Amino acid sequence: MKERYIDLMERTLAAYADEQIVAYFERVKRDGLTEHGFPRMAANIGILISHGRRTDLMPLFLKMMDFCCLEIPRVKAANDFSVREIVCALMEIEAAGVVPQKRLEGWKRSIASIDPYTCYDKYAKSKTDKVFNWALFTTVSEYARHHYGLCNADDFVDVQIPTQLQWLDENGMYRDALYHPPIIYDLVPRGLFSLLLHFGYDGPYRAEIDEMLRKTELLTLKMQSVTGEVPFGGRSNQFLHNEAMQLIVLEYAADRYQREGNFKLAGKFKAAAERALDCIERWLDRTPVHHVKNRFPLESRFGCEVYAYFDKYMITLASNLYNAYILCNDDVVPGEIDLSPMVYQTSEYFNKVFLRAGGYSLEFDTDADPHYDASGLGRVHKADVPSALCMSLPCPAMPKFVVGEHPVAMSLSPGIFSDNYWQFATDAYIGRYELLDMGEGESSAHVSLLCRFFNGKEVKTDYTVDENGVTIKATSSDKLAHMLPAFAFDGEVYTDIKASEQQLEIRYQGFVCRYTTSGKIIDLEEVGYNRNGHYRGFAAIGNKEIEIKIELEKE
């Protein structure tokens, strides 16, 4: 499996034509080092060369590395990220002996000269400072230098760590914002803590970090989709590097439990890692390769925040794959994929409920950030079915990433008829969700939600999932509806959508999503956008009670 990581790193780099890399270098030489994308590129090329790959890039790599090692100690340019990347490359280069020792020693002297208090952008000055995840990147970068023998980082690191532990919720998940913390920025810090322990941190906070990791690693298994994907929620979601960050957590856990003799649990984590790798590989198999999960032209930047451009975020996949590679223990034998019925509710900070049964997985957000998501059932996945076919994440009302014009919030959410139009519970200003009940059966999982709308009306909705699909039963004292988003366009291909009075079918890539209802299906004549593409709005409507069945299957 370690070789597979290197293979996928090489395929990631292949997304950049050689002339693109040269042009990137020319821009950086002209404009200066301004962010961490370029050092990340240099480091990954060096790692691949150390493994006998892309040796044709050696002349260019030497110049890139000269530039990075010269500039990083004297220019603040997101070095919080870059230093760890460069140190990892140096370790691989030295172990492989692929660069003349004199040049290597010059690079090491330069990185050893770093003053953390002038090199890094974000760090805590005291143990009670309020700083978020950048300071943890800084911590791991500095401890990577320590691990490599280029400094003594003990004092610096032991100031940083307590400022990061303060953001953990009762489950050990990392809250990278006071409100609506993004789910990826829970995963990122936990991956960084894993790397910190891998690099040998054994200071006063080691036991606390280890306890947190053991607890949250099990949650990672619960939250992973049956397609191998990380949960939706907040910024930086739906990029290929998300699953690679998840791999860091999974590989660290698999290795630890293997060393402790818990081979069954180690095998569960290794199986989850294989599933995440399969997900990444499916996207790398498509050409041209994209860094975000859609097929829109790269120049459109559809689905991307302003900071999430290709040059930086495509190579981030390779970086995260490398971090998983160094944690990977090939002695671990993958176990069976755990598809047993499961229900999990996060803390109130993350507002998520996860269901899994019968090869399906569901994810609810009961209080979504309208800039990234919408409240309601936002994900229905089935193993081996294209993730976006039903829905992989909701469509936000006020997206902070690039989409089409006039976005409308969409999720699989209940609605009421008010003021002569249908209003759906896609955000807290319209309706608030209360979890009434959840549970697991022998072959199914279920959750019951009550949605209270601002005008006092209520809709109770029961969701059950098993091998036959998802069954939704909604009840109210008046007219009611349930939104049914229909995937329409992935940026390259239009789906085939057919609607009748009681059935809605969406066909895509040889698969079909089928909504069947006891009510009546109407076309809302609205379009929503998420990072995967365009969705047309439909709804099932009825009087006091409706039932909906969702099935995903191969045609």
Whether the Cβ atoms of residue 256 and residue 307 lie closer than 8 Å to each other:
no
Which tokens hold the place of 67? 């530039």
Q: How many residues does the chain have?
A: 555
Question: How does pLDDT run across 162-182, given as a tens digit for each residue?
Answer: 999 999 999 999 999 999 999
**448 Rama sector, left if φ>0, alpha if ψ -120 to 50, beta otherwise:** beta
Work out the percent of the chain whose per-residue pLDDT is above 70.
100
Give the pLDDT of residue 285. Answer: 97
Average pLDDT, the chain: 97
**Which three-class secondary structure string do you get for 270-335?**
HHHHHHHHHHHHHHHCCCCCCCECCCCCHHHCCCCCCCCCHHHHHHHHHHHHHHHHHHCCCCCCCC
> Quick check: 3 pLDDT over 90?
yes
Whether the Cβ atoms of residue 307 and residue 315 lie closer than 8 Å to each other:
no
> Quick check: 408 pLDDT over 90?
yes
Task: Beginning with the edge strand found earlier in the chain, give each strand of the sheet holding 352-357 in spatial order.
Answer: 342-345, 352-357, 360-365, 376-382
Q: Scan for tokens 């993730």, then name that residue.
A: 387
Q: Scan for tokens 């014009």, then name that residue.
A: 405
> Quick check: 418 pLDDT over 90?
no
> Quick check: 49 pLDDT over 90?
yes
Pairwise CA distance, residues 531 & 289, whole Å:
16
Whether the Cβ atoms of residue 448 and residue 427 lie closer than 8 Å to each other:
no
Give the pLDDT of residue 262. Answer: 98
Tell me the torsion sign for CA atoms 355, 356, 360, 363. Answer: positive
> Quick check: 451 pLDDT over 90?
yes
Indicate the SS3 state at residue 502.
coil
Q: pLDDT tier at 428 (50, 70, 90 boundaries)? A: confident
Pairwise CA distance, residues 141 & 124, whole Å:
14
Give the pLDDT of residue 429. Answer: 84
Half-sphere exposure of 491 (CA within 13 A, CB side): 23
Whether the Cβ atoms of residue 303 and residue 237 lie closer than 8 Å to each other:
no
Contacts 24+ apart (CB under 8 A), 432-435: 432/367, 433/364, 433/366, 433/367, 433/375, 433/376, 435/345, 435/353, 435/366
Question: How does pLDDT run across 477-521, given as a tens digit for each residue?
Answer: 999 999 999 999 999 999 999 999 999 999 999 999 999 999 999
**How many CB atoms within 10 Å of residue 512?**
18
Question: How does pLDDT run across 516-536, given as a tens digit for each residue?
Answer: 999 999 999 999 999 999 999
